[in-house]
Chain A
Amino acid sequence: DGGITQSPKYLFRKEGQNVTLSCEQNLNHDAMYWYRQDPGQGLRLIYYSQIVNDFQKGDIAEGYSVSREKKESFPLTVTSAQKNPTAFYLCASSMAGGLSGEQFFGPGTRLTVL
């Protein structure tokens, strides 16, 4: 099945820890994105990557880091510098430069800080 997978589904972090969220896609999409969703707010863009070995900061990149070593994978690290990391994290992908630019989303990871 083609799609986007995220793991783990639930993640608990202690204060001061770094944690990494996994995102994998087999849609052969060039572009990948990380969003954060908080209750009562729209999704906000953390980082995006239009091609392998390249990524750009979104609107709320502070306290997060990413890598894009493979086309299929775009892991997100939530560092201890992120002051309020408890949220629902969503990964998405799209055909870069495609006519529609339609984005497809994974099932999400819920991160809770203990």
Chain B
Amino acid sequence: KQEVTQIPAALSVPEGENLVLNCSFTDSAIYNLQWFRQDPGKGLTSLLLIQSSQREQTSGRLNASLDKSSGRSTLYIAASQPGDSATYLCAVRHNTGFQKLVFGTGTRLLVSP
């Protein structure tokens, strides 16, 4: 059974700092991995999707990497801003059958001015 873990559960940093969020998964037979952002009381916003054949994806100040063999992904946020404060979730999709996503419990990020 696939299990997804995100560490740390919460992170507080001053504005301008570069930071890394971690995601690990137990079964490396994944099709892709998706990073989401969730603001309090809101739905999920898709940030980046990495296919199993890719090593990384970039969007603006965000860079996500994937090491499938070790079961790890990182989300790097450059020059953090208070507007980046949110919960960040990662989810993996198995490489066979239906497109089910298995989610981690998230990292709650607070960027202070």
What bracket does the count of chain B residues touching chain A fall in? 20 to 34
Q: Write the nearest CB–CB distance from B79 to chain A, whole angstroms.
A: 26
Q: Tally inter-chain residue pairs, CB-CB below 8 A.
A: 60
Determine whether the beta carbon of B101 is less than 8 Å from that of A103.
yes
Interface residues of B in 75-113 (CB under 8 A from A): 89, 91, 93, 98-106
Asked if A85 is an interface residue, CB under 8 A from chain B, the answer is: no
Q: Given the complex, which residues of B lie within 8 Å of A107, measured CB to CB? A: 42-43
Check if A103 sits within 8 Å of B105, measured CB to CB. no
How many Å lie between the Cα of A40 and that of B106 in the bound state? 8
Given contacts A40-B105, A42-B104, contact A101 B44 (CB under 8 A): no
B103 touches A48 (CB 8 A): no
Query: Contacting B46 at CB < 8 Å: which of A31, A58, A88, A104?
Result: A104
> Residue A43 at the B interface, CB < 8 A?
yes
A40 vs chain B, min Cβ distance (A) = 6
Q: Does A50 contact B (CB under 8 A)?
A: yes
Contact B42 A103 (CB under 8 A): no
Residues of chain A contacted by B36 (CB below 8 angstroms): 105
Flag if A101 contacts B31 (CB, 8 Å): yes
Number of interface residues, chain A, beta carbon within 8 A: 28
Most buried by A among B41, B44, B93: B44
B:37-51 near A, CB below 8 Å: 41-46, 49, 51
Residues of B within 8 A of A96 (CB): 99
**A6 to B51 alpha-carbon distance, docked (Å):** 29
Kindly list 5 other residue pairs between chains A and B, CB separation below 8 angstroms, not including A43-B91, A58-B100. Answer: A42-B89, A44-B103, A101-B31, A105-B46, A108-B41
Cβ contacts A to B, 22 pairs, < 8 Å: A6-B43, A40-B105, A41-B105, A43-B101, A45-B101, A48-B98, A48-B100, A50-B98, A58-B100, A90-B43, A94-B99, A100-B32, A100-B51, A101-B31, A101-B32, A101-B99, A102-B49, A103-B91, A104-B46, A106-B43, A107-B42, A108-B42
